[in-house]
Structure 1
Amino acid sequence: MSESDSDERSREMDDPQDNDDAVEQFSHLSIGEIEEAHDEHLGRLEKILSGHSLSYKDFGLLKEILFVTVIAMAQFLTQAGLAQAIAPLHYIGNSFNVTNAGELSWFAASYSLTVGTFILPAGRFGDLFGSRKIFIIGWAWFALWTLIAGFAVYCSSQILFHFCRALQGIGPAMLLPNGLALLGRSYPSGTMRKNMVFCVFGAVAPIGFLVGAVFDGIFAQFVWWPWTYWVGAMIMALIFVLAIVVVPIELDKHAITNFHFEDIKRLDPFGSVAGVLGLVLFNIAWNQGPVVGWTTPYTYVLLILGVLFFISFGIIEFKYTDYPILPMEYITTDTLFVAGCISLGWASFGIWIYYWWQISEMLRDHSILLTAAQQVPAGISGGCAAILTGYLLGKMRPQIIMIFALTAFCVGNILMGTVPIHQLYWFQTFFSMWIMPLGMDMSFPSATIIMSNAMPREHQGLAASLVNTVVNYSVSIGLGIAGTVESRINRTGDELLKGYRSAYYVAIGLSGAGIILAFLGTLESFHEDRVKARLSSQEGIEELERSGETYEKEGA
């Protein structure tokens, strides 16, 4: 741009008549219309800067609803898949002649283990080959292994069922990060619409578990428990077809089209293998310890090997790869804060939901359907929390919302950890059902949006991967820690209540530590803002001083 053009542009911007015309132009618009115009402007700007040619504005309302629904169903059915082992737990155990509490917990933990472990590699595959492709493949995989898990009942050993559940969990590991990456690429950062869409994604989690538990109860009590897997596979197959039709192929515009041998390095194979092995071995040790006892040599050997693979992963990512699966430049104070809060909160949630079902079925002698019915308030509360969070994210800093979330996790566990067995449902249990989903649906959207906004569009799969890895892996490892404590307290198997309460005390401790971390993170964010404001003020003063000196020279 020439100097004359620049001067002309400056005069146009400074023309008060133009400013008055602009004010008059927008004065008739409502606040909602102005926000929508702002969102549309941000969407166009991001498309120009990133090179992407598609956003939610190009969908049309009906297709946008279908698009969001298909992606939200990934979260819905992931949680329904968790319910497939928790709700009919003792029916499944009877089929395989399993009664040991530690071994029963593996039916749920094996699934959460692989969901959490394989999310990061799946997110990298999506960033490289296209999130849409991996998302669609994920539905096919999820459907296949859900179907096979149902047929595992014909095998006399529970090992095959554990194996099928673990492979079933790889399906959600492909769906969750790539589904969120598709949302992240379709909605501009910092807009109310993006906040609400991500909150919808989080809101369906408790609803998915509730609906899954209801149908699990129906099939287990009145038909046969494998039917919950076979019917689930049919639903997943239908969504697989719908995803092919609804998810725009243009969202994979950034993906590589011709794969070469050199591209293998971009998958960070050595780092991925080290990370996966570390997560798997560390988790197996914690979940197998309550089953065979920590005095069994291979449990602590697996634990040590897991730690060594974690160290190897860190060394590889820092020094020996050009394409780290977890780029260190994104490991900031904010991301560590989010990971810490999410891991502590969701580990306590896994303990809360698992041991609530044990108390209800084993100590209160409730049926699956009655137990599921008692969780209806959780679904309602989760939906309300998601809407509230979408609103609050535009009004306050996410760190404060995280304090509310961790407080909800802690209070929900305190209520269930101290509930008298013969107390009416409408006292502590009822309020726990209302409070606990606040933690889930305030923490997950907040964390996802923080990560999504902190990373470029080409790494949206990584942003979603980090949150989902921590969420799902924490559920599994939390069950292992709680199971270890329970097995040490209830050694003879005759003190169920004492063992269950000890597990809840673990959950209370975890969520309490999360509250402390959330407070520290909030204080740190306030401190950073004050430092930035001070620096900005100093820079402004210096700029004014320089402008004054220039003016004096020109006057002279």
Structure 2
Amino acid sequence: MVAASSSTSTTDRTLKIQDTGNTDHYLPSNSTASSLHSQRTKEQCSNLQPAQAQDQLESMNPPPGPSRLRECMFIVIIASSQFISLAAASQAILQMDAITAWFQLPADRSLEAGWANAAFAITCGTFIIPAGKLCDLIGSKTVFIFGYAWYTLWSLLVGISRYAPKGQATFFFFGRGCQGIGAAALFPSSLALLGKYYPPSCKKNIVFSLYGFCVPLGVVVGGVFSAIFTQLAHWSWNYWSMAIVSAFFTLISCFYIPPDEIIKSEEQKKKRAWFHLPKFDYLGTFLYVASLLLFAVCWNQATGFKFKSVQVYVTLIVSLVCFVAMVIVEFYVDDPIIPARKIHPQTIKALLVVFFSYLSFTIWLFYLWKYFTVVRNDTVLLGAAKFVPLSIAGFIAALFSILLISTAVPVQIRLLAGACSFLLAHILFITLSRTESYWARPFLTIIIISIGLDISFPSATLLLSNGVPQELRGISAALVGTALNYGTGIGPPIAQTIIGYQCDKCMASGDMDQFVKAIHIAAAVGIGASGIAVVVGLYGTVTEYSWETHSYSKRCVEPYDDE
């Protein structure tokens, strides 16, 4: 592990992080000794290639680590990024009706309010991989602080969009998309920082499980505060308060996150880093971003126009062409944004499980919220309060996830168990009746789906973090984030489009029985998505088991040179 350096007091106590191989590992120290150590190790590695130098640094004994307080602050800051990103993703779902009323969108444009959630989730899922590549090029701390600063700026501007003319919500949707870019920078950089400073160990398992617990916690807290501001004040204060919190974390990140250690070749040292990105895959990045954005735009437009409009299926065709072109380009460039040649089939299976699981989760979240506020006629605040058990059950599920990891339950089985939780929740969801008691099936679905949230995400991130070389940690974290966030972005519009074909007037007729029918259709879509996740997870569980060694493979990449 690379030791970061800075020049402050040498009196900080040290805290060792023991790994499974009885070797002592440390978080970077803020001491003069750390600075001298970093300088010596850099000099010893100056004649090596960047990747070889990185491995050489990791094999050396790092200097003493920080105090327990500094380590706790480091964990809190990193976990906060996941918490704030999920809070931002969920808060707009509760505000859609308020956004429609505030901007006075006509009835034929009411479906545009869906962009309040989709714009954030889609840009977040799309730009995570370019952000992960930047982590490998310019350092995870730099990308992390930029992500928080960018998120702060656009949270402020989204709140200011309340002063836009009536009927013009474009700037609000645009601002939400720009917010997603900030969250995209936070996701891979935070996971890369955790993977860098925590080697495979029991402590790393605990830290990643707590990081995963921020998923249900962020969803619930973001929803509750969104409901409070929307019902008791104004929805814009939700974004301004988020700007204040993220500005605080931007500031303390500069002091509590250790400096980046970027090993460069002699040629790279002669160039100015901020004006030259070495071997960056510009064409592949453009094709990748274009394909994902256009594919998402296609599904969001289909909610209103269906596939009867030329612009919808033309957008779909162009997005698929860009994706195919991107795949071809990635196999021929020297430094692809997605290292397709090195990705192991096991990684693809894990990403598919995460993608379809979280696609189904957002469908469940969106339409259960509609069930509470429309069918049961709950206020915004009461509807948000009904999701509070999600965070409590999520905390218990996080402890259970730590137990599964500590008892060496294979990641393939954990991923399958998480996918089964999503499937079971949707099976219960599709049986909801108009007069259903909250403490019956709605409450059970909340408890069950929290298990899936806290098992699937930490399992996938640990799998990729432990199974890739140092130079691919940023991009590996980005792959998990892309699967998660992109799935959450396109889940509701896919369900809404299918509802439009099956029962076009169900959600607008005012008949609650028809509205419940639309919710059942959405739940069926969720069953299909989570069912795919279960099938893929089951296939991976069976095919990746070795009867010779009686164990599962832990490889996440194809063999690479330094093995």
Looking at structure 2, the residues matched to 56 and 467 of structure 1 have their Cα atoms a distance apart, in angstroms, of 31
How far the C-alpha of 1:96 sits from its partner, in A, is: 1.8
- 2:432, 2:63 → 1: CA distance? 47
Q: 1:488 deviation in Å?
A: 1.8
How far does residue 385 in structure 1 lie from its aligned partner after superposition? 1.6
C-alpha change, 1:56 and 1:432, in structure 2 (3 Å) is farther
8 A contact 1:267–1:323 mirrored in 2: yes
How many aligned positions are there?
498
What is the CA–CA distance in structure 2 between the aligned matches of 1:236 and 1:262, rounded to whole Å?
28
Give the letter aligned to residue 227 of structure 2: G
Amino acid at match of 2:199: P
- Greater alpha carbon shift after TM alignment, 327-336 vs 106-115: 327-336
What secondary structure does 2:435 align onto? Answer: coil
Summarize the Cα distance change of 1:35–1:487 in structure 2 as closer, same or farther, 3 Å threshold: same
Change over 3 Å in CA distance of 1:281–1:147 after alignment to 2: same
**Which residue is equivalent to 1:511?**
530
AA aligned opposite 1:60: S
- Pick one of 463, 472, 478 that aligns with 2:491: 478
Which structure: larger Rg?
A: 1
Structure 1 partner of 2:69? 62
Q: Does 1:43 align with 2:25?
A: yes
Q: Which amino acid is the alignment partner of residue 336 of structure 1?
A: I
Choose which of 138, 144, 147 in structure 1 pairs with 2:153: 144
Mark the CA change 1:529 to 1:431 in structure 2 (over 3 Å): closer, same or farther.
farther
CA distance in structure 1 between the partners assigned to 2:466 and 2:101 by the alignment: 47
Instruction: Give the superposition deviation at 1:265.
Output: 5.0
> Which residue number in structure 1 is paired with residue 35 of structure 2?
none
- Distance apart, 1:329 and its partner CA: 3.2
Corresponding position of 2:423: 410
What's the secondary structure of 1:354's corresponding residue? helix
Shift, 1:37, TM fit: 6.8
User: Does the CA contact (< 8 Å) of 1:50 and 1:457 recur in 2?
Assistant: no
Distance 1:373 1:532, change over 3 A: closer
In structure 2, how many angstroms separate the alpha carbons of the residues matched to 1:502 and 1:262?
51
**Larger proportion of helix:** 1
- Letter of the aligned partner of 1:526 in structure 2? Y
Structure 2 equivalent of residue 30 of structure 1: none
- 1:135 matched to which residue of 2? 144
CA–CA distance in structure 2, aligned partners of residues 230 and 180 of structure 1: 26
Is the CA contact (8 Å cut-off) linking 2:27 and 2:65 kept in structure 1? Answer: no
- Structure 1 distance, partners of 2:71, 2:416, is 33
Whichever residue aligns with residue 407 of structure 1, its letter is C
Matched-pair contact (CA < 8 Å) for 2:19–2:202: no
Percent of aligned pairs with the same amino acid: 32
Shift in Å at residue 54 of structure 1?
Answer: 9.2
2:383 to 367, 371, 375: 371
Residues 19-62 of structure 1 deviation map (CA, whole Å, 9 limit, x = unaligned):
xxxxxxxxxxxxxxx99474661637999945158989712211
Alignment of 1:66-465 (within 5 A): 66-98=73-105, 102-155=111-164, 156=166, 157-189=168-200, 191-249=201-259, 251-254=260-263, 258-259=271-272, 263-264=276-277, 266-319=279-332, 321-394=333-406, 395-465=408-478
Q: Which amino acid aligns with 1:85?
A: A
Q: What is the CA-CA distance between 1:318 and the residue it aligns to?
A: 0.5
CA–CA distance in structure 2, aligned partners of residues 529 and 462 of structure 1: 32
User: Is the partner of 1:422 in helix, strand or coil?
Assistant: coil
Using the TM superposition, give the Cα deviation of residue 133 of structure 1 relative to its aligned residue in structure 2, in angstroms.
0.4
Tell me how far 1:254 sits from its aligned partner.
Answer: 3.8
User: 2-side partners of 1:201 and 1:146: how far apart?
Assistant: 23
Structure 2: 5+ residue runs without aligned partners? 1-15, 29-40, 42-53, 553-563
Whether the 8 Å CA contact 1:102–1:487 is kept in 2: the answer is no
Shift of 1:182: 0.5
2-structure distance, mates of 1:35, 1:60? 12
For residues 263 and 224 of structure 2, the distance between their equivalents in structure 1, rounded to whole angstroms, comes to 41
1:419 and 1:207 map into 2 onto residues whose CA distance is: 25
> TM-score, with normalisation over the residues of structure 2?
0.84
Is the 8 Å Cα contact of residues 17 and 25 (structure 2) preserved in structure 1?
A: no
Distance in 2 separating the partners of 1:279 and 1:529: 41
Which range moves more in the overlay, 420-429 or 70-79? 420-429
Deviation at 1:252, TM superposition (A): 3.2
Q: Is the 8 A contact 2:465 2:473 kept in 1?
A: yes
One-letter amino acid of the counterpart of residue 190, structure 2 = G
Change (3 A) 1:45 1:367: closer
Counterpart AA for 1:500: I
Greater shift, 289-298 or 162-171, is seen at 289-298
CA–CA separation in structure 2 for the residues paired with 1:261 and 1:247? 21
Change (3 A) 1:56 1:391: farther
- RMSD between superposed Cα atoms in Å: 2.5
Alignment of 1:530-541 (within 5 A): 530=549
Residues 436-478 of structure 1: per-residue CA shift (max 9 Å, x gap)? 0111110000000111112112221111100000100011122
Query: Cα deviations across residues 471-523 of structure 1 (Å, max 9, x unaligned)?
Result: 00011122221111122233122232222211111001111121111111000
Cα distance in structure 2, aligned partners of 1:192 and 1:261: 38
Contact 2:18 2:25 in 1 (8 A): no
- Once the two structures are TM-superposed, the CA of residue 195 in structure 1 deviates from its matched residue by 1.1
Distance 1:432 1:57 in 2: 47
Structure 2: distance between partners of 1:420 and 1:383? 29
- Given the superposition, is the C-alpha separation of residues 430 and 453 from structure 1 closer, same or farther in structure 2, using an over 3 Å criterion? same
Q: Structure 2 CA distance, aligned partners of 1:372 and 1:39?
A: 46
CA drift of 1:365 comes to 0.8
Residue 51 of structure 2: aligned partner: none
Deviation, structure 1 residue 214 = 1.1
TM-score after normalising by structure 1: 0.85
